[in-house]
Structures are given as C-alpha cells and as structure tokens.
Structure 1
Amino acid sequence: MINFITTFFWVGKLRPAPGTWGSAAALVLGLAIDRYLGFPVLVLATALVTALGFWAVGRELADRPGEDPSEIVIDEVAGQWLALLFPAAAFWGRGLDDWAVVAYPGWIAAFLFFRLFDIWKPWLVGRADRRHDAAGVMLDDLWAGVFAGIATIIAAGIAHGVLM
C-alpha cells in the first residue's frame, strides 16, 4: 500500500521520466478537482496529499536513508498541486470557476515552471534535495511548487501588461 501511494497509483513506474509523468498526472487530476469540486477542495487535497506524502515517503525510505528513488512521485503531485494553487487562487478570487478551460496558459505555465524548478533545483529547492532524507524528498518539490507558482503569477502579470 505504501508503494501504491508513493508511486501515485504506480504512475511513478512509467518510463522514461517518471517525475514528468507524475507531474502530468497530478496536473490532470488537479485541474479536474478544481473544475468539478472547486478551489477549496483543491487546497484541501493539496494539504492532504502533502501530509500523506511525508508519511508515506518516510515509511518507504525508513530502511533506505539517503535514497530518492525516481519511482517515488507523490512529491511531484504535492509540488505540482502547490504550483497550480497560485493561478487557481487568482481566478477563484475573481469568481472565475472555469478558468482551466479558458485560461490554459496558466496551468501550462504552472506545469512547465514546476518541471523547470524541480529539475534545475535552484536555491532552497537544491538545499532541500541535498538533505538526503525522506523529508528532503518532499521538501524539494514543495519549494519547486512555490517557485513555480510565483513564476506563473509573474508571467501572467507580464503577459497581461500588469507588470510592464
């Protein structure tokens, strides 16, 4: 059961690039949650998958300290949903519940920026990754999600002339 959770329903076993597969699956599910259940449910789901991820990754790696197996993608799910919360919150705050259909650059940017920061690992992302423990497995993707969310909002501001 732990492996089922950490691989996000075995999406992490897909090759090549299991992290990208995990992020893509998270994006599709996150958009569906936001569209059909609403932004508050996406916030709750993000909190729950993050807590579940810390627990499950801790259990999965308890006897393997220092490992970060590529098939563990629950961290990508938590980070991707965190990145998605930024544009979702912006649209929800303006009463636009169906933003995923009409504002596709927002979720595409959240996905691309998340993958960029998750692979590049700048600053706090890299610091968390260098912890080489179960918490670091989760934290680097959460930081990547925060940076991706901020970058998505900045890009939207530039694209719409707000920050020009």
Structure 2
Amino acid sequence: MRIATAIGTVLGVGYLRPAPGTWGSLAALPLAYGLHQWGGFPLLAAATVACTLAGLWAAAEMTRGQEDLDPSEFVMDEVAGQFLALWAISYPAWAHDISITALWPGWITAFVLFRVFDILKPGPVGWADRKKGPFGVMMDDVIAGILAAIGVALLAGFSHGVLGI
C-alpha cells in the first residue's frame, strides 16, 4: 500500500461500505479521544493541522492522473474535519480541567453536525467542494468542521446558559 493511499484512506477505513465518509468520521472519534487524553487540546490542534497538510499531499498523490479527483475512499478529509468539530469540546475540557468524557453530548453533537454539514454542503462548504484538486477535497470538510464546532459551541452556550443544564 502506497503511503499516500494509507494516509488518504486512513489505513483502509475509506474502503468500508456503505458511507465511507461516515466511517472516516467515526474513526476520528477514538483518535481524537486518545490525542486529547495524551496531550490535551494542543495535541489535538497540532494533529488537526498535520492531518490537513498530510491530506492535501495524499489527495494530490492519490488523484494524480486520475479522472476522479475526489475518490470516495479518501477519508483523511473527514478525520481533519471531525477533529476540528471536536475542538469545541476539547478546548474547554482542557482549559477548565474537565474530563472530556463528561462532555459526551458535545461528542454526539459534533459528530452529527459535522456529518450534516459535510453531506448537505451549505454555503462555504459547497463552494470549497466545487474547487478542483486537493484543496477542494480537503477544504470542504475543514469548513464543515469549523461550522460544526461553531454549532457545538452555540448549542452548549444555549444549553448551559439559557436552559441551565
């Protein structure tokens, strides 16, 4: 297995069917948990940047000379995007010394919102998705992850501030 394919498919996760993007997002959850447990938010943030850069390279390599510039088995974009969505719970857990598992509703919300934004591709997500090449492959999921993180933060603020939960 070429290194670019190993990275792009996240060691073969992208070959799982149906819905390889969902499998890629699910694979990101235990990875994010481990990164947060080992090094807190700073390590998760660094891993997100590393995944994004590695994904840009792997997407270029995997699609070089191919007709399909966004193959369904490429799921490193989902990992990077899901990591970003989880920043909304990793940072407060790290900054306030809260167990990240205590924020379990945020995990579910981050996963669901990320998948919704990734599938429906509203606004800037769709704009990035229409770009050709590695940028488009990676950036639609990065933007979906940012939107999901904002959604998680807003819903947490509403839940804790307005509802008092």
Secondary structure at 1:15's aligned position in 2? Answer: coil
Q: Which amino acid aligns with 2:137?
A: V
Task: Look up the match of 1:122.
Answer: 122
Give the aligned partner of residue 152 of structure 1: 152
1:1-164 equivalences in 2 (<5 Å): 1-64=3-66, 67-96=69-98, 98-99=99-100, 101-162=101-162
SS of 1:161's equivalent in the other structure is helix
- The CA deviation at 1:59 is 1.3
Distance in 2, matches of 1:54 and 1:20, equals 20
Structure 1 runs, 4 residues or longer, greater than 3 Å off: none
Give, as a single letter, the amino acid of the residue that structure 1 aligns with 2:10: F
Gaps of 5+ in 2: none
CA positional deviation for 1:6: 0.4
Deviation (angstroms), 1:45: 0.8
The whole-number CA distance in structure 2 between the counterparts of 1:109 and 1:35 is 20
Shift of 1:158: 1.1
The more displaced of 78-87 and 117-126 is 78-87
TM-score of the superposed pair, with normalisation by structure 1: 0.93
List gaps (5 residues or longer) in structure 1: none
Aligned residue identity for 2:114: F
RMSD (CA atoms):
1.5
Shift of 1:95: 2.4
Identity of aligned residues (%): 47
Cα deviation, residue 163, structure 1: 8.2
| 1:66–1:134 CA distance, 2 compared to 1 (3 A) | farther
What is the CA distance between 1:8 and its match in structure 2? 0.4
TM-score, normalised via structure 2 length? 0.92
* Count of matched residue pairs: 162
Distance in 1 separating the partners of 2:44 and 2:107:
14
